[in-house]
Each structure stands twice: as structure tokens, then as C-alpha cells.
Chain A
């Protein structure tokens, strides 16, 4: 199953969603718990097994849920866990956790349901570009299907009850992954940060292998989950995303208009390095791909579609490289393999 996933990519990465020159994906997740079990951290091994069994059994009753592929994450190798994480099908917490836990994956990778993460269920939907409406309709329907099979922990005043009080209420986190290379270059990104903080929104960079944000990707998501409807929460995040899109577009235009050729130079150098290098780290790959991605959006690079770049961001990450090549590789072998993979896929375009 994982081997099949390795060579492909999820539809959310295809890059045909609205605003996909700047917005990579829209993700919504819902935290849900079963009423008759303690929260995961306080579960005995028997409780965890019983939760998993309940979920898997009940999923069999519903056609749309029966076709999900269930993966026992506890049984997986480290590489496979990391692979699912790079793919954004599971969270870091589920990958690095312990005990009975798993994930049910839609064969088309449109959604996944994590079992025994911090909450009993973490339902997640991914859509390409800025697509909150589609993502919400889909996750709302899945939530209703599951909610007819199990009884959720729900409190009349506080809503859906979660292990952490920061998720209580709607249990919803909507995250928009956005690519802001021009704003990083022009240092305008600081303006974004100031306004985010005032609005109680969280922003984080997308991590590479290390802990530094790479590739100028940022994630905008809501912090508040209680006291507002799902629609209000989504609208607020989308509104901020739209402001970022506008600012990023303006920053890109300004960079293009300026007489200074340094931006064009940075973009074409990045492209040249990716096509000719013999060894390259995942961090540098993300930085350079980010520039090329902007170059494509600006029309400076015409021979590679954004889909291919979106895919390369994921496929050049450590576990993906190893799955695609079908062997375990240490860091220096990976860097060599990554360079040849990039060369292959960027050359194909010409």
C-alpha cells in the first residue's frame, strides 16, 4: 500500500485549486472523542485497543468508510511512519507516539482519520489551493457519517470535548498552507506577523528535516475553537489568507518591476543548481524549489508546471526518497539520490 502511494501524489498537491500559484492547500481537521473512553493519554493498553476495534468495526457499517485503508502505525518501521508524515496523512505526534494507534486513509488521499492520536479521532481533509468550502462540506459529511456510528463526547455548553482545552468546542483547526517567497525577500512578512498576533492566529513555517522553516511556506490557522461557529472560524482564516495573497502578489510585482535583476538571477541560479547538482540536502532543495516555484508563477520559468514542483517538495523528503528508491539510505547517500531524482524530473520537462 505505502509503496503504491510513494510514486503518486495526493490530489491536494496537484495544484489546480483556486489561487494555487500562492496557496498550496487548505486543510481542515476535527478532533473527536468517544464518550465511553478516557482521553488517549489516560487510556490503558486495553482501552486503546478497544477504541481502535470499535472504530474499525463501525467503519464497516458505512460504505464510504469501509473502503478506507487502515494502517496500524504502531507496527510500521520508522521510515514508513516518516513517509506518512511527509505525506501529511498523519501528524508528527502520531508518528512519534507509542502504543496502539493507526490511520484510516482514503484511497484517493482526500482525507484521513487518525485513531488514538491526542484525541480518539482526528479527521482531516485536504484540498488543493484555497478551497475552504469544499473542504468543509466534505469533512462535515464524514463527521456526520462517523457520528451516526459512535457517540461522541459532547457537552451542551462546551461542545465537542477534547483532551486539550485549546481544541474544545468545534474541535476544528483550519490550516491554509501558503507560499510567500516574495514577502520573505522584501521582508514585508513582518507586517503579516504583527497582524496575525493581534487576531489570535498561529503561523508556522513548514519544517524540513531540521527545525528551521524552509521554502517560505507558512501555515495560517485558527487558535480559537470555542464560541464561534465553524463557518465563522473558517471565514476569519480565509480572510487573512486573502490579505496575504494580495500582499504576496504585490510584492512579486514589485520585484519584477524593479530594475535590480537580483530576483531573476536568484531564480535562474536556483533552477540551474537543481538541474545540475550532484549532492544536495533537503533544506537546500526546499529553498531552491521555493524560488523556482515563484519563478514559474511569475512566468520567468516556463518549462516546468507547478504540479511537478509541488510533487518534488514532497518526493525529495528523506522517507519519500527511500520509499521511491526502495532502499534505506543514510544522509549522504540520500543527498546524492536526491540530486539525481531532481535532475531526472526537471530534465523530463524539457
Chain B
């Protein structure tokens, strides 16, 4: 099912009661839900098509050029470009939270109100290591090398991956 405000997949299904036994189904994606919940005025206009609200959620991008530039920014680990996130509403890898930190901050603030985790932490205090993050990058590079039929490079990467995997 598609989001009623843009073309993304709707993951939020809200049943709003409209009075005398009437109810209205609202289907929104992850990005549109936050503007729906935080902007009461926009709640009136959920039917019909409204343009992609992506850019509005990133208020820091002031001009079209700035937004275009931001859109091209890529994660060095998984290779995801920022526009892909704006389109799909999903991040590519854990490192995106680090490399797009500044860009995600206003979005996290508008979704959650706060931007600091205060809940539980992993047992045994096991946190992500640099080696694990690099494994994501190396596996992607190996995959690309295989697709380009550069088997020599793919073989070197595979050995590197094996060594790192043993450390993790």
C-alpha cells in the first residue's frame, strides 16, 4: 500500500474517527507520519495527493542547490546516497547514523522530540567496532569486483574479509 502523501510504501495505518460512525483510513510512510503527528493543520488534508514532503523534513537544507548537493552525499561504507534515503525512508547501514549525523539530527528531533538514547545498553557492553563497519564496506567492494569480473581484486578482498571476520 502506498503512502497517501507521497509514493513511498505506507507503514503507518491510522484509523481516524470522523464522527457519526464514520471513520477514515490514513496510510502514511515513515517520513510523512512525523509531519502528520506534529502538524495538526496538515491533518485535514490527508486525502488526495500532496507532494513529497521529504525536503520539508530537512529544514536545514535551505535552497534547491543545497538540497541537491546534500542528495548526492554518499556513505563511504555502504555507498547509499542521501537522496536514496529520502526516497525510501530507510538507511543503508549503521554507519549512516555517523556519516549523515548532521542531516539526520533535525529529523530525529521531529520524530522523537529528543536525540539521546536513555534506554538499555547491550549486555557485556559489546559495542560496534571499526572492524565490523569495515566488513560492510569490504563485502560491498568484493560484490562489485565480482560483478566487474575483476576476480583478482575479489580474491584479495575475500582474504581481507576472512581475516577481519575472525577478529569479530
**Which of B20, B92, B114, B124 meets A226, CB within 8 Å?**
B114
Interface window among A68-76, A146-154, A291-299: A146-154
Which residue of B is nearest A230, CB measured? Answer: B119
Residue A261 lies at the interface, judged by CB distance under 8 Å to chain B: no
A166 to B98, CA, bound (A): 16
Residue A229 lies at the interface, judged by CB distance under 8 Å to chain B: yes
A229 to B117, CA, bound (A): 8
Given A36-B132, A213-B23: A227 touches B116 (CB 8 Å cut-off): yes
- Within 8 Å CB of A159, what residues of B? 117, 119, 121
Q: Is B14 a contact partner of A203 (Cβ separation < 8 A)?
A: yes
Q: Is B119 a contact partner of A197 (Cβ separation < 8 A)?
A: no
**Which of A33, A148, A165, A200 meets B108, CB within 8 Å?**
A165
Q: Is B17 a contact partner of A193 (Cβ separation < 8 A)?
A: yes
Min CB–CB distance B125 → chain A (angstroms)? 9
Which residue of B is nearest A157, CB measured? Answer: B116
Count A-side interface residues using an 8 Å CB cutoff. 61
Residue A158 lies at the interface, judged by CB distance under 8 Å to chain B: yes
Interface window among B44-52, B64-72, B133-141, B148-156: B133-141
Given A193-B16, A202-B14: A164 touches B94 (CB 8 Å cut-off): no
Give the interface SS of chain B, mostly helix, strand, loop or mixed. mixed
Min CB–CB distance A256 → chain B (angstroms)? 21
Given A46-B143, A148-B123: A35 touches B117 (CB 8 Å cut-off): no
Across the A-B interface, how many residue pairs have beta carbons closer than 8 Å? 182
Residue B13 lies at the interface, judged by CB distance under 8 Å to chain A: yes
Which residue of B is nearest A212, CB measured? Answer: B25
Q: Is B123 a contact partner of A39 (Cβ separation < 8 A)?
A: no
Which residue of A is nearest B127, CB measured? Answer: A154
Q: Is A155 a contact partner of B128 (Cβ separation < 8 A)?
A: yes
Residue B163 lies at the interface, judged by CB distance under 8 Å to chain A: no
Which residue of B is nearest A206, CB measured? Answer: B15
**Which of A36, A189, A224, A233 meets B136, CB within 8 Å?**
A36
- Within 8 Å CB of A80, what residues of B? none
A203 to B16, CA, bound (A): 8
A157 to B15, CA, bound (A): 34
Residue B37 lies at the interface, judged by CB distance under 8 Å to chain A: yes
Min CB–CB distance B32 → chain A (angstroms)? 11
Q: Is A204 a contact partner of B114 (Cβ separation < 8 A)?
A: no
Min CB–CB distance A169 → chain B (angstroms)? 5
Given A42-B78, A144-B123, A212-B25: A228 touches B118 (CB 8 Å cut-off): yes
Q: Which of A38, A41, A213 has the most CB of B within 10 A?
A: A38
Q: Is B90 a contact partner of A164 (Cβ separation < 8 A)?
A: yes
User: Which residues of chain B from 89 to 142 have any CB-CB distance to chain A below 8 Å in the complex?
Assistant: 89-94, 97-98, 104, 107-108, 111-124, 126-129, 132-133, 135-136, 139-140
**Which of B37, B43, B168 meets A223, CB within 8 Å?**
B37
User: Which residues of chain A from 54 to 103 have any CB-CB distance to chain B below 8 Å in the complex?
Assistant: 93
| New contact pairs (13) apart from A164-B91, A168-B117, CB-CB < 8 Å | A35-B128, A35-B132, A36-B135, A37-B135, A39-B94, A154-B121, A158-B115, A164-B30, A166-B111, A205-B13, A223-B111, A224-B112, A226-B115
20 contacts between A and B (CB under 8 A): A35-B129, A38-B78, A39-B93, A42-B92, A44-B143, A47-B139, A147-B126, A152-B128, A158-B108, A158-B115, A164-B30, A170-B117, A187-B20, A193-B16, A204-B12, A223-B111, A224-B112, A226-B112, A228-B119, A230-B119
